[in-house]
Structure 1
Amino acid sequence: MLSRLAQAFVRRLLTPFAKALLKLGFSPDAVTIIGAIGVIGGALWFFPRGEFGWGTLVVTLFVFSDTLDGTMARLSGRASPWGAFLDSTLDRIGDASVLGGILMYFAAQPDGHLTAWFALACLVFGFMVSYARARAEGLGVDAKGGIAERADRLVVVLVATGLTGLFDLPEIVLTVVLAILAVASAVTVVQRMASVKRQTSLADSSANVTGHGTARP
């Protein structure tokens, strides 16, 4: 949802930076790795200390590399399966670092265990959303979509965490957002499972019809 609406705008905005980095000799893979290090380092340094404002600013800055490296790959003609694999793998580590950092902070607070549990639920179901798609594609079917795709989840978490830190909002706000996001992620897993079930059932039905229509020797 959010990713589809903003993707073209962000790509156009980052194109001049992508061209400049290519001229300086940076490769798309290098930008992917630098961005991942920035996200992981920022999340695991600031969030466990309760510095949500600074942490969100640092993570958001490096998150843009996720689009920047893809733009660089397209402009330079270096798009490759390896680049896509590297980007996807490091994205998951970055997502885990963001939610893991939040979890670490609240797990250490006497009254923060509920929020920590919701952060853990978001982490688990977020990985399940990605796994469902990857496993489905391995079976030759599509499992995209759902109400809480990866970009949507990341934006919601960063906005809620940033507002909590920058404007000193009550931590219950972040707790509620994480609870809603955990439910939305779980629903997305079910949606993708239902999509795979529907597609595989149709494929089986088509195979049965074809088989029944074939004359036996």
Structure 2
Amino acid sequence: MLGNHGRGLARAIFTSPAKLLAKVGVTPNMVTVVGTVINMGLAIGLLARGYLALGGILIGITAFADSLDGVLARLTKQTSEFGAFLDSSLDRLADGAIFGSLLYWAISGMAPGGIRTGTIIAGICALVGAGTVPYVRARGESVGVVAKVGIGERTDRLVVALVGAGITDLGAPLVCFPVALSWVAIASFITVGQRIFYVRKHLK
């Protein structure tokens, strides 16, 4: 949902930078790889160490800038199936680093108790969901069905998780963190179910 609304804004913002990068020979795949490395570095270096607000803001900025590779590809007419494959594959690495780092902080940085236990459980489920949602879509495409349906797009899940973590770091009640991760987990599992039923319906 949020991803769809942000694409037009991304094109407006990144067209000029994309033209500059094209002039100096930067390719869309280079942008994809660099963006993933930065996201993973921010997640492991900041989120896992408890800098949830700062990490969330910086990852949010770089995640939005992730649209730059697509803008550059269209501008330079370098769109390709491999580029889409690479982008999707590296997104899984970034997602794993982000949710894995949030889970690590919950385990190592939160005081023992019910909220910590709930956060860990929600974090595990959110991490599993982060990998399963795109996998189900990919498997659907492998049998000829493009299952883009679902209430929990990648952008939605990342925004909710990072905002929940960030506001907790800034002084909001600690329970906001597990609530955010629980929403991500539930939305992920619902999306998996929606996509499975969508594929089943179109394969009958």
Distance in structure 2 (CA, Å) of the matches to 1:142 and 1:149 = 14
Secondary structure in structure 1 of the residue aligned to 2:152:
coil
Gaps of 5+ in 1: 202-217
Q: 1:159 maps to which residue?
A: 163
Match of 2:139 in 1: 135
* Cross-structure match for 1:60: 60
CA contact (8 A) 1:66 1:87 kept: no
* 1:211 aligned partner: none
Contact 1:18 1:68 (8 Å CA) reproduced: yes
Structure 2: unaligned runs, 5 residues or longer: none
- CA apart distance, 1:161: 2.2
C-alpha offsets along residues 70-122 of structure 1, whole Å, 9 cap, x if unaligned? 00000001111111111111111101111000000111232323202211101
Partner of 1:174: 177
Q: Deviations over 1:171-214 (max 9, x none)?
A: 2101111112211111111111110111111xxxxxxxxxxxxx
Could you list the structure 1 runs, at least 4 aligned residues long, displaced by more than 4 angstroms after superposition. Answer: none
Task: Determine the C-alpha separation between the residues in 1 that align with 2:81 and 2:36.
Answer: 18
2:37 maps to 37
Q: Deviations over 1:32-58 (max 9, x none)?
A: 111001100000111111110111122
Shift of 1:128: 1.2
Aligned-residue offset at 1:137? 0.3
- How many residue pairs get aligned? The number is 200
TM-score normalised by L of structure 2: 0.93
Give the letter for the 2:124 counterpart: L
Does 1 or 2 have the higher relative contact order (CA < 8 Å, sep 6+)? 2
Q: Which has the larger radius of gyration?
A: 1
Q: Percent identity?
A: 38
Structure 2: how far apart are the matches of 1:187 and 1:95? 18
Return the TM-score normalized by structure 1: 0.88
